[in-house]
Amino acid sequence: MVFFDSSLLNLVAYGIVISTTFYFYLRYRYTFWQRQGCPVPLKPHIIYGHTKEVTKMKTWVGKHYANIYYNTDGYKFVGFYQFQKPKLMLRDLNIIKDVFTKEFSTFPNRGIVFDDKLEPLTGNLLTLEGHRWKVLRNKLTPAFTIGKIKNMIDLIDGRAQEMVRVLEKSAVIGEQVEFKELLARFSTDVISIVAFGFETNSLTNPDAEFRRVGRMLFSTSLETIIRNALNALAPSLIGLLKVRSIKKEYADFFYNVVNDTVKYREENGIQRNDFLDLLMKIKRGQNLASDEDSKSIFDENDGKEDFKFTMDVLAAQCFVWFIGGYETSSVTLTFTFFELAQNLDVQMRAQDEIDSVLSKYDGKLTYEILQEMPYLDMIVSEALRKYPPVPNLTRKAVKPYKLPNSDFTLDKGLQVVIPVYGIHNDPEYWPEPEKFIPERFTEEEKRNRPQYAYLPFGAGPRLCIGMRFGMMQVKVALFRILSTYNISLSKSMKLPMKMNPKTIPANPDGGMFLHITKRKN
């Protein structure tokens, strides 16, 4: 006869009870949307919810949300689960429009978890909420008017011309160029001179410190994985455990750079036509909204204490400009050149337009001259359509919201997701979406298409404040390179069956290699 230790039996029994209880707890969690009266067409996994593929890194997050969007055709909105965290995906463009504009008071925030006391650089326009965001947006809006942006074009054009000079050697010997890295260095030099006020020279020195730090900021680390997991499973633990979103050494680097530069300018009375100069004026209490095209978008007199524009706030805005401008502009340029290398007829038409402008203005480039190149604008718009740098947008409800023409009311505190990448590649709005067709953005085509089918910069009061600057930066780079070089695909380039906006089609090392030859003018 075999005897079992009673303690072992108890342990097994406890394990069965706990696992069974946890199982039914998860099953109950996954009935949240049904209990709310919201459709959930796709069955959730017992552990991952609807995030199994992206959690196992079999797909990227933009494609993940797009898959939910494509597989729920016929619904205006659907519930889904990020692990056990319920979220609502909006599919109907009219509802999306309401969330961004008409119902903005219900959805004023993105729902990004941050702690600007622990990490001052996170207290920026992207993450801030409520009154603090409103005041900061009002203060910064005049810094991004056309008049202010025009003054920065010479700084951008100088870096674009330096990029052309860097390419000269490659064009002479006929070698392929790693455009992904080149354009990242260009964006680094542009943002550093505009937002931080000094030269980084990463175009000529790929190992420059600013480029090294920028490269590390966008690399995947253990801290990033842990933070993303906590954000999905238990966001409250992020603050409790003091999990940082920016590695301390990089945060200190950026803060010290900005602080030292501001101090040097103040002590020496230096003024420049750059973003940092405008921020310093705000910090001194100057109102930039004195220009005719600078108007406040909100009434700040809501009885709350004003948001003080401290050195921490100033540094945070420089930082978000760097991470926003660096990543979005370099990625957009990379994919634009990739498409031009594949579509030589589009490239030639762009070059003809550029040549025409160059002959009129003797090579001089101004903001007004950029506006005389509508086809170049269409090319950039189509690149942003096919490869939106921000593939999904989020908004968080601050009060209950009854979705139009339905019996469903979204509870306060829940987050909605707008699948931008999915909408941008939906054949209902974009026939043959896999094709690169700049003519989608003629004035007539834009009038005939729903406005909210195109959201590369968001919409409503939280529309990307740097949109004009970003478009200018991209078009200046295209202007200078296409006026000098022809771009074609490298023979060693490996193209995937389906494009992925977060994985540059490339050689095995992850670069994006193109062949360039000097144009014969």
CA distance 442 to 462: 26
Distant-in-sequence, close-in-space partners of 64: CB < 8 Å, separation ≥ 6: 51, 53, 54
Q: Are strands 85-90 and 77-82 parallel, antiparallel or unpaired?
A: antiparallel
Euclidean distance between CA atoms 504 and 135, whole angstroms? 38
**How are the residues of the chain apportioned to helix, strand and coil, as percentages rounded to the nearest 5?**
55, 10, 40
The reply, when asked if residue 38 is annotated as ligand binding, is: no
Q: Distance between CA 425 and CA 441 in Å, rounded?
A: 15
Buried b (16+ CB within 10 A) or exposed e, 388-401: bbbbbbebbbbeeb
List CB contacts of 469: < 8 A, sequence separation 6 or more.
Answer: 144, 149, 152, 194, 325
Residue 150 makes CB contacts below 8 A (sequence gap 6+) with: 366, 367
Asked whether 183 and 325 are in contact (CB, 8 A), the reply is no
Type and span of the H or E element at 77: strand 77-82
Q: What stretches of 371-442 show up as alpha helix (H) in DSSP?
A: 374-386, 420-424
Rounded Cα gap, residues 387 and 337, in angstroms: 12
CB atoms under 10 Å from CB of 291, counted, come to 12
∠ Cα 396 401 406 (to 5°): 125
The stretches of 98-247 forming alpha helices (DSSP H) are 130-140, 146-150, 153-173, 179-191, 209-217, 222-233, 236-240
Let me know: does 378 contact 438? Beta carbons within 8 Å.
yes
Measured between alpha carbons, how far apart are the two ends of the chain, in Å? 97
> Binding site for heme: residue ranges?
464
Residues flagged as binding site = 464
